[in-house]
Structure 1
Amino acid sequence: MDQTQNEFTQKEFTQKEFGWMQSIKVTLGSLNHREVKSFISSIANVPSKLRKHNEKAYSPKRLTIGPIHRGTSSTLLAMEEHKWHYMLALLQRTETPVQSLDTCGRAILSFDDAVRASYGSYIKYDSHELAKIMLLDGCFLLELLLRCAPPGMVPRIPSEDNHHGSLHPILGYHEMLPFVLTDLTLLENQIPFFVLKTLARILLPNTFTNQVDRLVANLTLSLFGYPSNPCPPVAHFLHLMHSSSIINEGQQVKQAQQELKNCATRLRASGITLRAMEVDRDNVKRSSFDIKFVAGVLHIPPFHVEETTEVYLRNFIALEQSIIGISKQFSSYALFLRGLVCSSQDIELLVSIGVIVKGMQISNENLLTFFGTITKGVDEMDSSYSKLCEDLNTYSAENTPKKFAILVCHYCRHCGECIRYYCKCSYRILIRDHIPNVWKLIGVVAAVVLLVLTTMQTYYSAHS
């Protein structure tokens, strides 16, 4: 089998071969690559059923990494010059920049099949152009990791020459780095992790020794505010953060469904006390999933809603729905939150007790839309909260007048919100499809007036 795979890898494509065969040969040639065999198609395009609910959450705003979004807007092109500066700075850390660059170029070019298989979709660039993208973006990311490294994390790091702050706007302006980090968490904005490790080994062999995998991973986790943890092999930045966040490995994967039948208000009416759990600030990204139900009290870690929260959560979910064999805990967590919220009254309750922490100016209506759409298009989940939801669904204290009053008020508000929602949707459809300009507005008004007059004429004719 190994000999057959090597034949696929070594065979050169000719112009006479059918184009549709190339992707097949690329995938077959990558099956024996130790860095790729478990992560083929790990940087997949986000499915349209997920993307359509918030397309902006999956598209970079300042920085493009990899071939998928390269050159799609002038804003993204503006960052290319700065990536070249970072690449030059990284090469200046080496003893022989020109020779090191040549060695990196040959190594990355030899990974062409593995890189293409990692994206799992058609890449329009030829081998040399794709290698150029991997080399530039890989050097940029590696230099960014080195500059943001905490003191003492990187031993024997060579200094670079010509370190002028004017050439490095990413670290020179505090408002730039959050946008860059957010763009680096997008599923479609990744490069394979083995590209970074290869460049690190070649360019800085005295710094990245036999612990290259762990050091590059720890630098990445530090950059995004995660604690250093031993992680299994990962495909890219987003996959690394995902592996460092989950707490329930090996849960049974099943078809996605809404397991929590009662929202926050109905749980309170059933006698359940909802309480915000105190979490360790240094490990908040992992402890957010640790939801417990003990003695009638539901302990929920605070869910911080910030400007980038939706982007992070949607891309983690997109990753889980794209790769087979990884935990689906973000998807299950989002489905649990979705079950807690069915009206603005639930939002008000969760905010008042500190379960939802709004770190930005966002309305309850926007939060309701966020929770209502975050799990649409999700096909798979795991059993992380199955037992918890079963206990919450069956729990019930004694019936009291207070419980009846809470439920009546809740259902009335929920019905009112549903009516307002459908009226707004109908109004948007009317404006978009039937009244896009003043002439169509006049036509619609005339048609309504004509309909009313015809109805009145029919009525009076029938009674005359």
Structure 2
Amino acid sequence: MAGGEQSWVIETEKRLKDLDPSLELELWSKHSIYRLPACIKDLNSKAYRPQIVSFGPFHHGETQLRPMEEHKHRALLHFLRRAKKPLEEFVIGMEEVVGQLQDAYENLDEDWRVHKDRFLQLMIVDGCFMMEVMRVANGGQSDYASNDPIFSTHGILYTVSYIKRDMLMIENQLPLLVLDKLNAVETGKFKDEDHINKMVLRFLAASPIAARTSIGGLGLHPLDVFRKSMLQGQYPSSRHGHSEPASNEIIRSALELYEAGIRFKKSKSNSLRDIRFRHGVLHLPVIVVDDATEFLFLNLMAFERLHVGAGNEVTSYVFFMDNIIDSAKDVSLLNSNGIIQNAVGSDKAVAKLFNGLSKDVALDPESSLDDVHRMVNAYCRKPWNMWRANLIHTYFRSPWAFLSLAAAIFLLVMTILQTIYTVIPYYQGQSPPPSPPTAPSPQ
């Protein structure tokens, strides 16, 4: 055996002896911020790339994001002046959790681990910038110049939407532990764990109700908190329980469901868990589809795919919507029922968006919406509903087919009436009217 091969064998044998599954379990449980594998990123790289600001180490220093670094350091100065505490106190507070912060990033470059001071600087600067942007945008008192390019009313108006989008990129996350530590040192007193969560949601949430949502415990990062706010509540209890195997059936499109007698109504909440089917009515949460919807769902699904234990609720919802939306007509039907609020333009564009979201994404066979799939398909298989759907599909899709059907029915009715008119006198005991007498023929 060659020397190189022998060295490899010895090294492998040594690693085998040191192998400890419990240590592996502990290692994987620490990660919450991930680099995307090429099989995900290459499908739509733009959806995962921050546009104007980086948070954390994965995109730090990229050319298109460097202009914001100046504003980050300026935000740090304003934060320190308002806190009236030296920077050293914040550094000491952050040092207490530096190991946790480093472990939060999967495949963190070794340079960030070796140069701990540089990593701490990154966490504090990015954390202070995030805190300042959220504070000003949420209506906090501002000590920035009225013409500040970022923190003025004008700056917030034109930059906040891009910052929100970048805060929801899976590779561009900052552990909320950073904000919690900064807040604790700044105020010098303990606040409930949900304080940071609510501050993030007030900034990111589309509705005041979502912003008041209680997550329970400090979130991992902004994307995690936002995802949890979309999934408040429990799935409706199922009469089937979990004894039945997962269904492999694909649910029909919204238009086909409508033809089978199913009606659509808005759910009582906007939670993606609030999807119910009862007595022929499918309840779905309202969703606003805009320019950020595609990027948001792709990053949420990527987080569910990479973070073990996160669940599959968002992915299940996207698959469900992809199934019931095949064309612009399905979007139009859902829009007419107030379920989809279209802010991107044409119904065709919305259909294309949902049809592209679930591309090359694996769905858990024990999907959280499996019971809804099962009940909807069972309803559609009932003989009357199948006959009704077939009738509508065959005769009511085209006006000419409908006119032909109406003409055929009219002729059938007229034929029946004519037959009845002829037969009724016999059942009433009447004989046909006598024929008029004929004149005698001449002899």
Normalised by the size of structure 1, how large is the TM-score?
0.69
- Do the aligned residues in 2 keep the contact of 1:169 with 1:176 (CA within 8 Å)? yes
* 1:172 pairs with 2:153: yes
Structure 2 counterpart of 1:424: none
One of 204, 210, 218 as aligned partner of 1:224:
204
Query: Corresponding residue for 1:423?
Result: none
Give distance in 1, aligned partners of 2:303 and 2:215: 20
Any residues of structure 2 matched to 1:338-357 within 5 Å, and which?
A: 338-357=322-341
**1:228-243 to 2 correspondences below 5 Å:** 228-243=213-228
Pairing partner for 2:91 from 94, 105, 121: 105
1:311-357 residue CA offsets vs partner (Å, 9 max, x unmatched):
21111111111111123211111111011022333233333333322
Give the structure 2 partner of residue 413 of structure 1.
none
Residue equivalent to 1:204? 187
For 1:250-329, list aligned pairs within 5 A: 259-273=249-263, 275-277=264-266, 279=268, 284=270, 286=271, 288-329=272-313
1:375 CA drift (Å): 1.7
Is the 8 Å Cα contact of residues 277 and 301 (structure 1) preserved in structure 2?
Answer: yes
Deviation of 1:240 after TM superposition, in Å, equals: 1.3
The Cα of 1:66 is off from its aligned counterpart by 0.8
Q: Describe how 1:6-45 pairs up with structure 2 within 5 A.
A: 39-45=29-35
Matched with 1:436 is: none
- Structure 1 residues 31 and 168, CA, compared in 2 at 3 Å: closer, same or farther? farther
- Are the counterparts in 2 of residues 197 and 212 from structure 1 also a CA contact under 8 Å? no
User: Residue 143 of structure 1: CA displacement?
Assistant: 2.2
Deviations 1:58-89 (A, max 9, x none): 11111111111112233x11111111111111
Give the superposition deviation at 1:118.
0.7
Q: Deviations over 1:29-81 (max 9, x none)?
A: 9998xxxx78522100123333233221111111111111112233x111111
C-alpha separation in 1, matches of 2:108 and 2:82 = 35
Separation in 2, partners of 1:399, 1:202 = 65
Q: Percent identity?
A: 23
What amino acid sits opposite 1:223 in the alignment?
Answer: F
Shift of 1:405: 4.9
Query: Do the aligned partners of 1:278 and 1:301 also contact (CA within 8 Å) in 2?
Result: yes
RMSD: 3.4
Do the aligned residues in 1 keep the contact of 2:329 with 2:347 (CA within 8 Å)?
A: no
Give the structure 1 partner of residue 117 of structure 2.
128
In 2, distance between residues paired with 1:249 and 1:277?
17
Write out aligned runs for 1:137-176 (5 A).
137-149=126-138, 163-167=144-148, 169-173=150-154, 174-176=157-159
Give the aligned partner of residue 403 of structure 2.
none
Tell me: CA distance 1:348–1:409, structure 2 relative to 1, closer, same or farther (3 Å): farther
State whether structure 2 residue 360 is matched by structure 1 residue 374: no
Residue 69 of structure 2: which of 68, 73, 80 is its match?
A: 80
Q: 1:167 to 1:58 in 2, by over 3 A?
A: same
Q: Which residue of 2 aligns with 1:418?
A: none
Q: Which residue is equivalent to 1:427? A: none
Q: Which structure 1 segments of 5+ residues have no match?
A: 1-20, 152-158, 411-464
Quick check: which has more Rg, 1 or 2?
A: 2
Contact 1:50 1:376 in 2 (8 A): no
- The verdict on how the C-alpha distance between 1:105 and 1:271 changes in structure 2, with shifts beyond 3 A counting, is same
The 8 Å contact of residues 39 and 235 in structure 1, kept in 2 or not, is answered as no
Relative contact order, CA 8 A, sep 6+: which one is greater? 1
Q: Cα–Cα, structure 1 residues 302 and 353, in superposed 2: closer, same or farther, change >3 Å?
A: same
Cα distance, 1:374–1:305 mapped onto 2, change above 3 Å: same
Equivalent-residue separation in structure 2 for 1:29 and 1:115 (angstroms): 18
Aligned residue number for residue 7 of structure 1 = none
TM alignment of 1:42-121, pairs within 5 A: 42-74=32-64, 76-96=65-85, 100-109=86-95, 111-121=97-107
- Between the aligned partners of 1:50 and 1:127, the Cα distance in structure 2 is 31
Question: Is 1:302–1:355's contact at 8 Å kept on the other side of the alignment?
Answer: yes
Q: What whole-Å deviation, never above 9, does each CA across 1:331-387 have from its counterpart, x for those lacking one?
A: 1111110110223332333333333221132x3443233212212233344532111
Q: CA separation in 2, counterparts of 1:330 and 1:394?
A: 24
- What is the DSSP-based 3-state SS (H/G/I as helix, E as strand, rest coil) of the residue aligned with 1:376? coil
User: Is contact 2:197-2:218 (8 Å) kept?
Assistant: no
- Whole-angstrom distance in 1 between the partners of 2:151 and 2:247: 42
Structure 2 equivalent of residue 406 of structure 1: 393
Equivalent-residue separation in structure 2 for 1:370 and 1:323 (angstroms): 24
